[in-house]
Amino acid sequence: MRRNRKVKILATIGPASSSEEMLKKLFEAGADVFRINMSHTDHELMRTLVGRIRAVEAAVGRPIGILADLQGPKLRVGKFANGKEALTVGQTFTLDDNPEPGTSKRVYLPHPEILSSVEAGHRLLIDDGKLELKAVKADGKSITCTVVAGSGISDKKGVSLPDTDLPVGALTDKDRADLDAVLATGVDWVALSFVQRPEDLAEARKIARGRALIMAKIEKPQAVARLPEIIELSDALMVARGDLGVEMPIEAVPGIQKQITRAARRAGKPVVIATQMLESMITAPVPTRAEVSDVSIAVFEGADAIMLSAESAAGAYPVEAVAMMNRIATKVETDPTYAGIINAQRSEPEATGADAISLAAREIAETLKLSAIISYTASGTTGLRAARERPQVPIVALSPILNTARRLSLLWGTHCVVSPDATDLDDMVDRACRIALEEGFGKPGDRVIITAGVPLRTPGSTNMLRIAYIGSDTH
């Protein structure tokens, strides 16, 4: 099955979409990668879901990527004697290390790292920003605050700290256990929550040891401030707009989304736009006009993938939501302004042979109006470089390694095919032409351009370009 769009679609699996039959429907509607949210999934269910996705993959004959999204630290206040309390703007409210039930004046905060890190003037956002507190005094055991906005607080509500750099890593004990479990099942991508600094990625990388690629979720101001270093140490980025919109001014999020998308594109790292893209489709069969516009902006911007969360996981219309996203993306990519916008953001290639080859392949393919760029890629690096160029013609990534093809299913404009390694150059050309014909990327007489590394099976050695005709005797 060939997609007629370049941007990829991630669909989150949940109660509304966890059966094998539903997963197949979501794939047929347009889902390229499935996301398993470990905040709501135990290990047994996760293994079941991975098995079902792999069964769908075998049935449809196309590589399907799996992203396991780790929960990250969950910072919450304690409980109240009455379950909840009303607060008024201007009053004093304290968070402290006393485990007794909370009152209208104070509440237990079971996180010593917060008590020791917050300073006077720092903001504390409770319950996704519905309550805003400002610290006026902090002594390591308690934080005395003024209520700036909001009218109440209740048990176990989450705490966000946009002004505070917390001395905690991105991985909790639960995350480490989850990471071991998902790596054992062979998932392709792992998304890391609560990234504040580049070092947060190091532990996950050490545990993964290349068994899965690491995606950094950008959801904190501290991560935005150190974006270049985080990009350097990650394999992909996710713009997690939900938490980003709590911890930063909500009106700043669209600009930050553009900055992250462009920075990731320059670095040749995939970038995913996530959260509330078709939120109203959780309960309605059609989205709002604003949501359609939001999805289209991500596509125009050249993001690698756009993601559905609750829409496909728990909504009433999971298949319709994926199909709608597919229709929006397909329409945008045929818009007369699309190519110009994509081209305007293209960055200079790095001074490497592989980058120069990828640039040349795009320019030749577009100048000669070739049918496809066909990249032989064992590790996936050649596919990444080809996609970084955002060519107008399709990219067909041929890999002898199924895991590589699954990982590349997240990548913009890349159609992945698992194919045994070529034996020599002639076999490489014949194989590329045959697959282009079989997969619907050309017909006899059409031309394709082939990129590869010679000698064969040498990772990261892209150094060859070849224009070839698809012959009538290609078989």
Which residue among 35, 106, 407, 431 is the active-site one? 35
DSSP β-ladder status, 414-418 and 305-308: unpaired
The whole-angstrom separation of Cα 200 and Cα 170 is 5
Backbone φ and ψ for 321, nearest 5 degrees, come out as -65, -45
- Tokens representing residue 149 in the block: 């906005």
In sequence order, the β-bridge partners of residue 215 are 191, 236
Helices (H) and strands (E) in the chain, counts: 17, 21
Comparing C-alpha atoms, which of 86, 84, 150, 139 is closest to residue 160? Answer: 150
Q: Is 103 part of the annotated catalytic residue set?
A: no
Which residue among 41, 261, 275, 414 is the active-site one? 275
The number of residues making up the chain comes to: 475
In sequence order, the β-bridge partners of residue 144 are 94, 137
What residue type is 441 in one-letter code? F
Q: Is 217 part of the annotated catalytic residue set?
A: yes
The whole-angstrom separation of Cα 1 and Cα 5 is 12
Comparing C-alpha atoms, which of 410, 409, 426 is closest to residue 418? Answer: 409
- Tokens representing residue 305 in the block: 């993938």
The whole-angstrom separation of Cα 459 and Cα 456 is 9
Q: Within 13 Å, how many C-alpha atoms sit on residue 419's CB side? A: 26
- Tokens representing residue 19 in the block: 């059966």
- Tokens representing residue 47 in the block: 């293994």
Q: Within 13 Å, how many C-alpha atoms sit on residue 287's CB side? A: 23
Which residue among 217, 226, 269, 406 is the active-site one? 217
Measure Cα distances from 205 to 216, 238, 269 in Å.
11, 17, 16
Q: Are 274 and 240 in contact, with CB atoms under 8 Å apart?
A: yes
Comparing C-alpha atoms, which of 92, 93, 90 is closest to residue 109? Answer: 93
Q: Is 35 part of the annotated catalytic residue set?
A: yes
A 10 A CB-CB count for 186 gives 14
Measure Cα distances from 34 to 21, 49, 54, 59, 191 in Å.
14, 10, 11, 16, 12
Q: Is 258 part of the annotated catalytic residue set?
A: no
What amino acid positions are annotated as catalytic residues?
Answer: 35, 76, 217, 275
